Amino acid sequence: MQYDLVISRLVKEFGTFRAVDDVSFEVPKGSFFSILGPSGCGKTTLLRMIAGFEEQTSGRIEISGQDMRGVTPNRRPVNLVFQHLALFPMMNVAENIAFGLRRRKVPAAEIRRRTEEMLERVGLPGYGAKRIHQLSGGQKQRVAIARCLVLDPKLLLLDEPLGALDLKLREQMKVELKKLQAKVGTTFIYITHDQSEALVMSDTVAVMNRGRFEQVGSPQELYMDPQTPFVAGFVGDNNRWEGTVEEVEGETVLIRTDEALVFRARRKADAHKGPATLFLRPEAMVIDPVGTDGLNTFPAVVKAILFDGANSRLLTVTPSGHELLAALPQNRAFDHIRPGAEITLGWHPHSGIVFARREERP
Amino acid sequence: MNRSGLFWLFLTPVLLWLFLLIVLPHVDLFILSFRTDEGWSLENYANFFTEPIYWLTFVRTAVYSIITTLLTLVVSLPVAFYITKLSRPRVRGFLMILLLLPFWVSELVRVYGWMILLRESGVLNYLFLQLGLLERPVEMLYNDATMIMGLVYTSMLFMVVPLVSVMESLDDSLVEAAYDLGASKICIWRTIIIPHCKPGITSGAIVVFMLVLGNYLTPNLMGGKNSLWFTEQIYNQFIASFNWNQGAAFGFLLLALSSCIVWVGLKLTGQKLGEVAS
Amino acid sequence: MIRSLPRSKAYDWSFRCFILLYFAFLFAPLLVTCVLAFNDSNFPSLPWQGFTLDWFLASGPDRIGLFHDDQNLRAIVTSFKTALCVSILSTVVGTCASFLFEKEEFRFKGVLYFLMLAPLVIPGVILGISQLLAANTAGAFFDETFGIDIEVFRPSFWLVVLGQFSFITTFVTLVVSARLRKFDHSLEEAALNLGATPLGVIWHITLKFLRPAIVGAGAVAFLMSFENFNTTLFLVGSEPTLPINLYLQVRDGSTPVINAVSLMLIVGTSLLALVNVYFTKKAD
């Protein structure tokens, strides 16, 4: 496989603070790669190092096989869509798009042709003469991307460009970006703290926390098979129990939670006898299961019904006061449930995953 | 060109400017003030303290500058208040331009205007005589009161502009709230408006004081023969007596006085020069 | 109290009278100066003797109007030349200074920034004499060590330019810095990212953004230089600038020609001021 970006053992320190801590990964040509993490996890620093605005403390950045150390940002074959877009307000749309081509001394006629072609491609034909402040949020977005793509970069870096849009437009732009990437075939590296953006658009997602990559994988892998407690907690909603592993039987463990419920669950590599954490997705829970064979079950009281269409949930509490979310399928089978109702919840041992409890790093 | 090349491109002219035209001349001023034709000496400063005409002028200049600054503040406060809080928004911009226009005109022209208005054969005297308010012409120029009025007139803008900008930033709802809570007009001025305007008052007062202290034209053309301004003393030493060392000592004393008062002003109000400048 | 609160009639009227008086006070001397430039009398005073353009157009022998008054015309030309040189020099250096103070970090930045502000608190007269002294010292030094006589170090056109430049640059720096502070830094990064060189970024992006401020500051610098008196007084050589020339005339007695010059000055500066106001409005 061909890689557009290879990063090995990359470190960035600000004083004594390690913003990026020994990160290595590859991005295959033509893929949509996202870096997902909470704010302050080092993802912006990482992106700025790739773009050349920060110099790494150590490690190596290779773009299309070329080491980028010492190459200034204006000479790197990457372009960046800025968080607040950074469209030049003193120029019109066409001048913004032509800016990079002009710097490359491309002949005027060709600049005009490529600018118009690009505008067409992002769905803004005839917008060339408009001023930046005349555009809507989504249109600005597309101009910012067009301005980069017209230069045929090896990599297009996107720094949370959807953050400033309102919810509805953001949903729409997600789909549009994904379609655009498929159409142009440029490698996209997208950083975001919004897991839904990362999951919907990406071929591969890297989850970043405290300067390190926790897990790199497809969106499905991250959701179904998180490798660390952080990924389990950060990607998608999860219920969480603290407890103690009492027995290990191959890929299954027997865990006694702190409120003395005993469950069987899937074992993660490092789980062994001793303190552990159990994660369980809301949709893995079955309300009042008919046959309880092989299921973990426990009683709970409904505290509130959180109606949200297809994403509706029950907020329940166990007898010892632990709050849990359970998916509430909208198939009318559970219409009788009211707040205060006592129900039984069951789940398959394969759905819950158990990690050894680690001391949180400071 | 890389980043550090740009840095030197910016730094070099700035260094040349500040070092050759600001630092060096004032160091030279300081050194020369300790020299006479015979060599090093404190004579120039001794002269200042032994000749009453010198230090009296110095003290008078300082006191009059402070009085002028206070008067300017008293006149400018209601003007700034009217423009920002009382005038209709549509006329506000017009009033501002009207306010600024005279100050774009050379100080000399403005002083000259006052001269032809106020002097014995001037316009005001003519009008008063015609109206029968006066029996014979009165010389209204060449006295301290007129001079101070002229100084207030020439430096007013530098008080009004900072006051207007600081009053614009005063949220009307604060005044409304104070009113709603039962405060009187005086109380509102004392507890809401003046405290809010403090930064503007400070910067305005400092600039006005500086300009008045260093003014030459207005005292020279509007002041009387015996109301000498300290800058005129400096001019006399340089141009009339051609005693540059003595003049340098005077210059340095004036510089010391102005820096001192500005420094005290900044300390009293707890502001920095950089903030006042912007 | 303020517009939105109930006020008494007396309060409103007393305020209005005050403002009216204030503006009368503000414009009276200018108005009188302008009107008397057209009075057909040998002295700039009332009574009104009738309308005349003599003080602009007359070519002698009794009356010499402004447009035939060589001395005043020469002074106007000198002032124009001075102001042009000063405004160009100070905008260039002032822009450099604002880039330096707003965008770079270096040792002794605080000291340098303080020095940059210093001309604000140095009276113009002092600036004038210290520069006269320094120029004289430098002239003497070059004369004694190298035996060369350098014209610039004697009171002359260029010394006036340098003297005015030394404090006007501070104003330019402050105006341009204020605009530069509003500049979104990511625009520069974006331009760099799109392939512009660091110098290209400044040229195509930053300077373009700053242009209104630079033009405005240049206009103000021009005016400040054109009208400067205090500093120029000590540095002026055989070519007096207009304010110096006017001052000498006013001191020695007045003729309506001075009114004519003043009128031209008032009209000229007002126009420049209005243009400047228009451009700053447009920039916002």
d(CA B96, CA B9): 39
Query: Which of A185, A210, A230 lies at the terminal end of a domain, its last residue?
Result: A230
pLDDT one-digit tens code per residue, A279-297 = 999 999 988 888 777 889 9
Q: What is the pLDDT of residue A301?
A: 93
Q: Is C125 on the interface with B (CB under 8 A)?
A: yes
CATH class, C69-253 region: mainly alpha
Using DSSP's 3-state secondary structure scheme, residue B146 falls into: helix
Query: Which pLDDT band, with edges at 50, 70 and 90, does A12 fall under?
Result: very high
d(CA A161, CA A203): 18
Query: Which pLDDT band, with edges at 50, 70 and 90, does B133 fall under?
Result: confident
Chain C residue at shortest CA distance from A54: C189
Chain centroid to Cα C87, Å, comes to 8
Q: What is the pLDDT of residue B32?
A: 86
Strands, E, within A164-211: which ranges? 187-192, 204-209
Among residues A294, A303, A295, A293, which one has the least CA distance to residue A343? A303
Q: What is the pLDDT of residue B141?
A: 82
d(CA B27, CA B16): 15
Decide yes or no: CATH 1.10.3720.10 for domain B43-277. yes
B3-7, B108-112, C261-265, C269-273: segment of lowest average pLDDT: B3-7
What is the least distance, in Å, from the CA of C124 to any CA of chain B? 6
Residue A107 has pLDDT above 90, yes or no: yes
CATH code at position A107: 3.40.50.300
Chain A residue at shortest CA distance from C197: A74
Query: Which pLDDT band, with edges at 50, 70 and 90, does A161 fall under?
Result: confident
CA distances in angstroms from C12 to A111, B175, B275, C2, listed in the order given: 63, 17, 35, 10
CB contact under 8 A, A100 and C184: no
* Residue boundaries of the structural domains of chain C: 69-253
Q: Is C273 on the interface with B (CB under 8 A)?
A: yes
Query: Which pLDDT band, with edges at 50, 70 and 90, does A362 fall under?
Result: very low
Query: Which of A230, A248, A278 lies at the terminal end of a domain, its last residue?
Result: A230
Q: What is the pLDDT of residue C55?
A: 76
Query: Which pLDDT band, with edges at 50, 70 and 90, does B272 fall under?
Result: low
Chain C residue at shortest CA distance from A90: C209
Query: Nearest CB to A151: which of C195, C200, C204?
Result: C195
d(CA B259, CA C252): 35
Same domain, A218 and A286: no
A139 CB burial (10 A radius; 0-12, 13-18, 19+): middle
Kindly list the residues from chain A whose CB atom is less than 8 angstroms away from the CB atom of residue C200. 103
Residue pair C259/C46 in contact by the 8 Å Cβ criterion: no
Q: What is the pLDDT of residue B273?
A: 65
Kindly list the residues from chain C whose CB atom is less than 8 angstroms away from the CB atom of residue B100. 273, 277
Choose between B2 and B159: higher pLDDT. Answer: B159
Report DSSP state, residue B196. H
Query: Nearest CB to B105: which of C30, C93, C134?
Result: C30
Q: What is the pLDDT of residue B3?
A: 60
How many structural domains comprise chain A?
2
CATH code at position A242: 2.40.50.140
Q: In what order do the strands lie in the sheet with A286-287?
A: A286-287, A342-347, A296-306, A313-317, A323-327
Q: What is the pLDDT of residue B90?
A: 83
Q: Is C122 on the interface with A (CB under 8 A)?
A: no
| CB-CB neighbours of C8 under 10 Å | 8
CB contact under 8 A, B28 and C169: no
User: Once rounded to an integer, what is the mean pLDDT over residues A306-316?
Assistant: 89
Query: Nearest CB to A86: which of C184, C204, C209?
Result: C184
Residue A307 has pLDDT above 70, yes or no: yes
* Residue boundaries of the structural domains of chain B: 43-277
Same domain, A270 and A178: no
- pLDDT per residue rounded down to tens, chain C (284 residues): 677 777 778 888 888 899 999 999 889 888 888 888 888 777 777 777 777 777 777 777 777 777 777 888 888 999 999 999 999 999 999 999 999 998 888 888 889 998 998 888 888 888 999 999 898 888 888 888 888 877 778 888 889 999 999 999 999 999 899 889 888 888 999 998 898 888 888 888 999 889 888 988 898 899 889 888 888 988 888 888 999 988 888 888 777 888 888 888 888 888 887 887 777 776 65
Residue B277 has pLDDT above 60, yes or no: no
Kindly list the residues from chain A whose CB atom is less than 8 angstroms away from the CB atom of residue C189. 51, 53, 73, 80, 82, 86
Choose between C235 and B224: higher pLDDT. Answer: C235
Same domain, A112 and A261: no
> Mean pLDDT for chain A?
89
CA distances in angstroms from C202 to A96, B236, C96, C109, listed in the order given: 16, 49, 11, 21
Residue A359 has pLDDT above 70, yes or no: no
Q: Which two tokens stand for residue A322?
A: 């632990």
Chain C residue at shortest CA distance from A83: C186
Q: What is the pLDDT of residue C9?
A: 82
Using alpha carbons only, what angle is made at residue C190 by residues C185 and C192, rounded to the nearest 5 degrees? 100
What is the least distance, in Å, from the CA of A160 to any CA of chain C? 14
Residue A67: inside a domain = yes
Same domain, A284 and A187: no
User: What whole-number percentage of chain A has pLDDT above 90?
Assistant: 47
Strands, E, within A210-359: which ranges? 212-217, 239-249, 252-257, 262-267, 274-280, 286-287, 296-306, 313-317, 323-327, 342-347, 353-356
Same domain, A165 and A276: no
User: Can you give the residue range of the structural domain that contains A102?
Assistant: 3-230
Choose between C45 and A38: higher pLDDT. Answer: A38
Q: What is the pLDDT of residue B1?
A: 46
Same domain, A170 and A288: no
Q: What is the pLDDT of residue A11?
A: 94
Residue pair C118/B263 in contact by the 8 Å Cβ criterion: no
A238-242, B33-37, C187-191: segment of lowest average pLDDT: B33-37
Q: Which chains touch A (3 or more CB pairs under 8 A)?
A: C
Q: Please, how many CA atoms are within 13 Å of residue A9, restricted to the half-sphere of its CB?
A: 2
Kindly list the residues from chain C whose CB atom is less than 8 angstroms away from the CB atom of residue B207. 120
Same domain, A217 and A297: no
Kindly list the residues from chain B whose CB atom is less than 8 angstroms away from the CB atom of residue C2. 85-86, 172, 175-176
Query: Which of A208, A230, A252 lies at the terminal end of a domain, its last residue?
Result: A230
Chain B residue at shortest CA distance from C247: B108
Q: Prior bond to A275 cis, omega within 30? A: no
Q: Is C221 on the interface with A (CB under 8 A)?
A: no
Query: Which pLDDT band, with edges at 50, 70 and 90, does A172 fall under?
Result: confident
Kindly list the residues from chain A whose CB atom is less than 8 angstroms away from the CB atom of residue C196. 74, 99-100, 103
d(CA C106, CA B254): 33
Residue pair B54/B48 in contact by the 8 Å Cβ criterion: yes
CB contact under 8 A, C186 and A88: no
Residue B274 has pLDDT above 70, yes or no: no
Same domain, A192 and A242: no
Residue A327: inside a domain = yes
What is the least distance, in Å, from the CA of C3 to any CA of chain A? 34
Strands A342-347 and A286-287: antiparallel
DSSP chain C: --TTS---HHHHHHHHHHHHHHHHHHHHHHHHHHHHTTBSSSSS-SSP--B--HHHH-BSSS-B-GGG-HHHHHHHHHHHHHHHHHHHHHHHHHHHHHHHHHH---TTHHHHHHHHHHHHHS-HHHHHHHHHHHHHHHHHHHHHHH----GGGSSSHHHHHHHHHHHHHHHHHHHHHHHHHTS-HHHHHHHHHTT--HHHHIIIIIHHHHHHHHHHHHHHHHHHHHH--HHHHHH--SS--HHHHHHHHHHT---HHHHHHHHHHHHHHHHHHHHHHHHHHHH-
Q: Is C282 on the interface with A (CB under 8 A)?
A: no
Query: Which pLDDT band, with edges at 50, 70 and 90, does B275 fall under?
Result: low
CB contact under 8 A, C46 and B259: no
Chain A residue at shortest CA distance from C185: A86
Same domain, A181 and A253: no
Residue pair B116/C249 in contact by the 8 Å Cβ criterion: no
**How many cross-chain Cβ pairs, A to C, lie less than 8 Å apart?**
60
Q: Which of A103, A115, A150, A155 to mutate to test the interface with C (most CBs of C within 10 A)?
A: A103
CB contact under 8 A, C200 and A103: yes
Kindly list the residues from chain A whose CB atom is less than 8 angstroms away from the CB atom of residue C186. 82-84, 86
Q: What is the pLDDT of residue C258?
A: 85
Q: Which of residues 186-245 of C touch B (CB under 8 A)?
A: 197-199, 202, 223, 226-227, 229-230, 233-234, 243
What is the least distance, in Å, from the CA of C248 to any CA of chain B? 11
Query: Which pLDDT band, with edges at 50, 70 and 90, does B207 fall under?
Result: confident
Residue pair C91/C172 in contact by the 8 Å Cβ criterion: yes
What is the least distance, in Å, from the CA of C280 to any CA of chain A? 15
Same domain, A209 and A331: no
CB contact under 8 A, A51 and C193: yes
Same domain, A16 and A164: yes
Query: Nearest CB to C115: which of B22, B79, B85?
Result: B22
Residue pair C277/B97 in contact by the 8 Å Cβ criterion: yes
d(CA C173, CA C100): 10
Q: Which of B18, B23, B90 to mutate to test the interface with C (most CBs of C within 10 A)?
A: B18
CB contact under 8 A, A74 and C184: no
